[in-house]
Chains A and B, each alone.
Chain A
């Protein structure tokens, strides 16, 4: 029997606003517990919420970037449930009038491009954090609550169950993450919890028009976990159904360590959140002028960059790598303006620069390398003043110190040797010292030629013009 998979994804993204969504406490990570709190985010008696305009703008921006319609009259609702990390024991959220509805996002799949519909984008407040003595809730004698995170603005992005495989789910998630990062509304760090994800998944017989019973997966904390958890859950459901049994509608917890999903609670135990309109806030009126103003602030997003980069002559692979890296793509765009060889810049950025960045665990904006320096380096190669070898050698210095390549070359006398007579004397010396190798070459061992080139480069400390060395050496060897 063949099965079709339906996956819907719910993303929670912490917004990078300066202050919380309903009070003026700063949004900041790593501060000592309960130092970023006030009567509002502590749920003290008498405290009232005041909506942060910036958070609304971030929500509208995201909704627009995800091709959503904007609700002109968005209402906040209270979601009621008791939990010690929820100071008011209700969360101010949105229910039937979220800020954005009916959007979509296109992703690349094995079968070409695919449109994933987005049901809603809404704004809500984050909870505090529980810290259990001993680290685990079970068996812990005591728990503490840190309310620094309480009231941090959260964006909830819910997709329709249009995703058909774990790979697509990961692709969708990465795409949403990149949009959030490019918009500057969220740092998108899943491992740090600033972007969280839940997935609901069901299977049905191929061709069936009715969705199967879904399970909801929680505790998915990385892009890798999304794929693994879904894969596991799909296999589990297929096993159940192929045995003639039925999947139970429930919430399941992804156990990262044991790589399986565990039942958390069934549908019968599900909360009744008793949503009702938040009487402490007035309806949020969003007019056309506000929307258009925000629309004009949307920067070029990865999809558009990708298409543009392909027109610049990059391969789809290169275009994708660059287009989905905010810092690198901005660097690239600036460099292209100064130096019209996109292919060459992309090459350098994606290979040598990327390797250096990885070694340093940094993004390009955290280094001293600028597009101007990069272009200066590439021009020196083009003009034949230095070899690619030398360029690679001095790259770390450019990254760490932001030095001028031209100056380095001058100071260290690294300019390429293009003087034929000077090179000929070096070649003569190499041939003399490696008579055995020369002999081998003459007997037909091609590799020996490269060895001899290497020796010339070594003696000239890499400064010899490789093309010229090749020519002269061939001539000398007859």
Chain B
């Protein structure tokens, strides 16, 4: 193991004991980038190594812990492309609120990570600048849309990262890359400075190597922000060391998310996890949430509807890519025609359609009703259970190109994660096993504001299992020319 393989809390302890220097930590990560980034392609922008090293401050321990930021979260002065041609030349003129909060802790931003264009996708193949590869198997996708962030942590080029999650975009890549990812309760992390995909579903969250780091990073970024009207003015989560005592807690295993379409090897892995929880003293029962079967169609009405409006601002008038045109209208039309990739266009068209006169009631309003029904299914389940569990992804990481031609199949990759966004709940994905050296993620879902409980349950599982310690065999990959 090298320093780049350790977690933030492990490194901070080593630094405080003066066993390693902050510079050594940062250099270890830079070394990973130099060695493996050419194959993994986790980043769209990497800061100058010298700058990264110079950002280390002796009295600011967190400045020794490089963090990667998904390229749809604005960092002042750095490019923010959203993996789209339309923002290829866009430099962020202000900081997202989460970045302001990280700056207060002097976190060392190492670069901006790749994603599916405007966070629309589940494989990071929809990036205008090429796909990211899974560090566990470079023939496979890292998941998406925060594939770059998950891969950057898995490969050790960053100790931790921020992603964004609209329908699973933190948890599914975390699952595919064998790391931890949290989708926080809607409204606990400010969206100010996150380029909106679907405003009522988007949340920024941490991607880390273990649960303790996840809790730490979440404690830095959560809390009320007056610049985001959907941010909740409640007591924020504060980190305290995790105990992992889950004796007697009640866990519901969601029946609908273990049925058809779930890879048997994934199912087996989840069944093993159930046993581990039982050994830890938890009480596990199956629970049915009938309406979550409607999650994918509900999501693919609501998310594109909001996206079609959110992405309207990219028109070439004020910033970003501009195509030519004889009139303003033609210029705007050409800019969008040439600037957006196919998946983004597909969703804009879907969204425009479902909001159109005559279709609004049939699609948008109906989807809103289903969203409420899904949320109410969860509320009922939480009357009986402390947390719910399911696979994070129904399949193992798939191969590049495998689903690109079949958008519907790609949409089903998020079947386990989408319901959580629709209900506004928090959920964490943690490594729960391996199949053919490919990671499998377990999703733990809690009621609103139950992040602290999720961390405890996840930590208990983590302490009882070795999966979070495993690292991809990067050196084993052939990186020939």
Closest chain B CB from A477 CB (angstroms): 84
The digit string for B52-89, where 1 denotes a CB below 8 A from any CB of A, is 00000000000000000000011000001010000100
Instruction: Assess whether A80 is in contact with B193, with CB atoms less than 8 Å apart.
Output: no
The digit string for A53-84, where 1 denotes a CB below 8 A from any CB of B, is 00000000000000000000000001010101
Instruction: Assess whether A43 is in contact with B94, with CB atoms less than 8 Å apart.
Output: no
CB of A51 within 8 Å of the partner chain: yes
Instruction: Assess whether A274 is in contact with B309, with CB atoms less than 8 Å apart.
Output: yes
A272 contacts across to B, CB distance below 8 A: 356-357
A302 contacts across to B, CB distance below 8 A: none
When A44-B319, A45-B80, A279-B199 are in contact, do A88 and B328 touch as well, CB less than 8 Å? no
Q: How many angstroms from the CA of A280 to the CA of B186 in the assembled complex?
A: 12
Q: Which of B192, B200, B230 contacts A46 (CB 8 A)?
A: B192
CB nearest neighbor in B for A80:
B309
Stretch at the interface among B4-12, B19-27, B310-318, B411-419: B310-318
Interface residues of A in 236-294 (CB under 8 A from B): 272, 274-276, 279-282
Q: How many angstroms from the CA of A272 to the CA of B356 in the assembled complex?
A: 7
CB of A87 within 8 Å of the partner chain: yes
Q: How many angstroms from the CA of A275 to the CA of B357 in the assembled complex?
A: 9
Instruction: Assess whether B318 is in contact with A48, with CB atoms less than 8 Å apart.
Output: no
Q: Which of B191, B315, B356, B357 contacts A84 (CB 8 A)?
A: B315
Instruction: Assess whether B80 is in contact with A279, with CB atoms less than 8 Å apart.
Output: no
A51 contacts across to B, CB distance below 8 A: 229
CB of A39 within 8 Å of the partner chain: yes
Instruction: Assess whether A48 is in contact with B192, with CB atoms less than 8 Å apart.
Output: yes
Interface residues of B in 176-230 (CB under 8 A from A): 191-196, 198-200, 226-230
Closest chain A CB from B284 CB (angstroms): 36
CB of B93 within 8 Å of the partner chain: yes
Interface on chain A toward B: helix, strand, loop, or mixed SS? Answer: loop
CB of A143 within 8 Å of the partner chain: yes
B87 contacts across to A, CB distance below 8 A: 45
CB of B258 within 8 Å of the partner chain: no
B318 contacts across to A, CB distance below 8 A: 42-44, 87, 145
Sorting the interface of chain A by its residue count into under 10, 10 to 19, 20 to 34 or 35 or more gives 20 to 34
Instruction: Assess whether B315 is in contact with A82, with CB atoms less than 8 Å apart.
Output: yes
The digit string for A314-352, where 1 denotes a CB below 8 A from any CB of B, is 000000000000000000000000000000000000000
Q: How many angstroms from the CA of A279 to the CA of B314 in the assembled complex?
A: 19
Closest chain B CB from A139 CB (angstroms): 12
Instruction: Assess whether B329 is in contact with A82, with CB atoms less than 8 Å apart.
Output: yes
Q: Which of A46, A90, A145 contacts B193 (CB 8 A)?
A: A46
The digit string for B327-352, where 1 denotes a CB below 8 A from any CB of A, is 01100100000000000000000001
CB nearest neighbor in A for B351:
A274
A219 contacts across to B, CB distance below 8 A: none
Q: How many A-B residue pairs have CB under 8 A?
A: 97
Q: How many angstroms from the CA of A145 to the CA of B316 in the assembled complex?
A: 13
CB nearest neighbor in B for A85:
B317
The digit string for B295-306, where 1 denotes a CB below 8 A from any CB of A, is 000000000011
Closest chain B CB from A250 CB (angstroms): 18
Sorting the interface of chain B by its residue count into under 10, 10 to 19, 20 to 34 or 35 or more gives 35 or more
B96 contacts across to A, CB distance below 8 A: 46
Q: Which of B92, B93, B198, B227 contacts A48 (CB 8 A)?
A: B227
Instruction: Assess whether A48 is in contact with B228, with CB atoms less than 8 Å apart.
Output: yes
Instruction: Assess whether B199 is in contact with A280, with CB atoms less than 8 Å apart.
Output: yes
Instruction: Assess whether B195 is in contact with A46, with CB atoms less than 8 Å apart.
Output: yes
Instruction: Assess whether B312 is in contact with A39, with CB atoms less than 8 Å apart.
Output: no
CB of B364 within 8 Å of the partner chain: yes
CB of A50 within 8 Å of the partner chain: yes
Closest chain B CB from A163 CB (angstroms): 28
CB of B360 within 8 Å of the partner chain: yes
Instruction: Assess whether B194 is in contact with A89, with CB atoms less than 8 Å apart.
Output: no
Interface residues of B in 87-115 (CB under 8 A from A): 87, 90, 92-94, 96
Instruction: Assess whether A281 is in contact with B352, with CB atoms less than 8 Å apart.
Output: no
B94 contacts across to A, CB distance below 8 A: 39, 44
CB of B292 within 8 Å of the partner chain: no
Q: Which of B74, B312, B355 contacts A82 (CB 8 A)?
A: B312
Closest chain B CB from A132 CB (angstroms): 10
Closest chain A CB from B232 CB (angstroms): 10
Instruction: Assess whether B357 is in contact with A89, with CB atoms less than 8 Å apart.
Output: no
Q: Which of A45, A80, A282 contacts B74 (CB 8 A)?
A: A45
CB nearest neighbor in B for A39:
B94
A276 contacts across to B, CB distance below 8 A: 305-306, 309, 355, 360, 364
Q: How many angstroms from the CA of A50 to the CA of B229 in the assembled complex?
A: 6
Instruction: Assess whether B230 is in contact with A89, with CB atoms less than 8 Å apart.
Output: no
Closest chain B CB from A12 CB (angstroms): 22
Closest chain A CB from B340 CB (angstroms): 14
A184 contacts across to B, CB distance below 8 A: none
CB of A26 within 8 Å of the partner chain: no
Q: How many angstroms from the CA of A49 to the CA of B229 in the assembled complex?
A: 7
Q: How many angstroms from the CA of A44 to the CA of B319 in the assembled complex?
A: 8
CB nearest neighbor in B for A23:
B227
CB nearest neighbor in B for A274:
B355
A78 contacts across to B, CB distance below 8 A: 309
CB of A368 within 8 Å of the partner chain: no
Q: How many angstroms from the CA of A223 to the CA of B194 in the assembled complex?
A: 46
B198 contacts across to A, CB distance below 8 A: 279
Instruction: Assess whether B229 is in contact with A48, with CB atoms less than 8 Å apart.
Output: yes
When A48-B192, A48-B227, A82-B329 are in contact, do A43 and B313 touch as well, CB less than 8 Å? yes
Instruction: Assess whether A50 is in contact with B227, with CB atoms less than 8 Å apart.
Output: yes
CB of A379 within 8 Å of the partner chain: no
Interface residues of A in 183-227 (CB under 8 A from B): none
The digit string for A110-144, where 1 denotes a CB below 8 A from any CB of B, is 00000000000000000000000000000000010
When A84-B328, A145-B317 are in contact, do A281 and B364 touch as well, CB less than 8 Å? no
Closest chain A CB from B194 CB (angstroms): 6
Closest chain A CB from B347 CB (angstroms): 15
CB of A408 within 8 Å of the partner chain: no
Q: How many angstroms from the CA of A279 to the CA of B96 in the assembled complex?
A: 19
A145 contacts across to B, CB distance below 8 A: 317-318
CB of A47 within 8 Å of the partner chain: yes
B227 contacts across to A, CB distance below 8 A: 48, 50
B328 contacts across to A, CB distance below 8 A: 84, 143
B193 contacts across to A, CB distance below 8 A: 46-47
Instruction: Assess whether A89 is in contact with B312, with CB atoms less than 8 Å apart.
Output: yes
Q: How many angstroms from the CA of A13 to the CA of B115 in the assembled complex?
A: 44
Q: How many angstroms from the CA of A87 to the CA of B96 in the assembled complex?
A: 20
Q: Which of A47, A88, A275, A282 contacts B192 (CB 8 A)?
A: A47
Closest chain B CB from A84 CB (angstroms): 5
Closest chain B CB from A442 CB (angstroms): 86
B200 contacts across to A, CB distance below 8 A: 279
A44 contacts across to B, CB distance below 8 A: 93-94, 318-319
When A45-B195, A46-B194, A48-B191 are in contact, do A280 and B74 touch as well, CB less than 8 Å? no
B80 contacts across to A, CB distance below 8 A: 45
Closest chain B CB from A125 CB (angstroms): 14
Q: Which of A47, A50, A88 contacts B312 (CB 8 A)?
A: A88
Q: How many angstroms from the CA of A90 to the CA of B309 in the assembled complex?
A: 7
Q: How many angstroms from the CA of A82 to the CA of B335 in the assembled complex?
A: 13
List the 6 closest pairs (A to B, CB-CB), nearest first: A89-B312, A274-B355, A279-B199, A279-B200, A45-B195, A46-B193
A50-B229, A82-B315, A89-B313 given; 17 more Cβ-contact pairs under 8 Å: A39-B93, A43-B313, A44-B318, A45-B74, A45-B90, A46-B96, A46-B194, A48-B228, A49-B229, A84-B315, A84-B317, A88-B312, A272-B356, A274-B352, A274-B357, A279-B198, A279-B199
Residues of chain B whose beta carbon lies under 8 Å from any beta carbon of chain A = 73-74, 80, 82, 87, 90, 92-94, 96, 191-196, 198-200, 226-230, 305-306, 308-309, 312-315, 317-319, 328-329, 332, 352, 355-357, 360, 364
The 30 listed contacts between A and B (C-beta, < 8 Å) are A39-B94, A43-B313, A43-B318, A45-B82, A45-B313, A46-B73, A46-B196, A47-B193, A50-B226, A50-B227, A50-B229, A78-B309, A80-B309, A80-B312, A82-B315, A82-B329, A82-B332, A87-B313, A87-B317, A88-B313, A143-B328, A145-B317, A145-B318, A272-B356, A274-B308, A274-B360, A275-B360, A276-B306, A279-B198, A280-B230
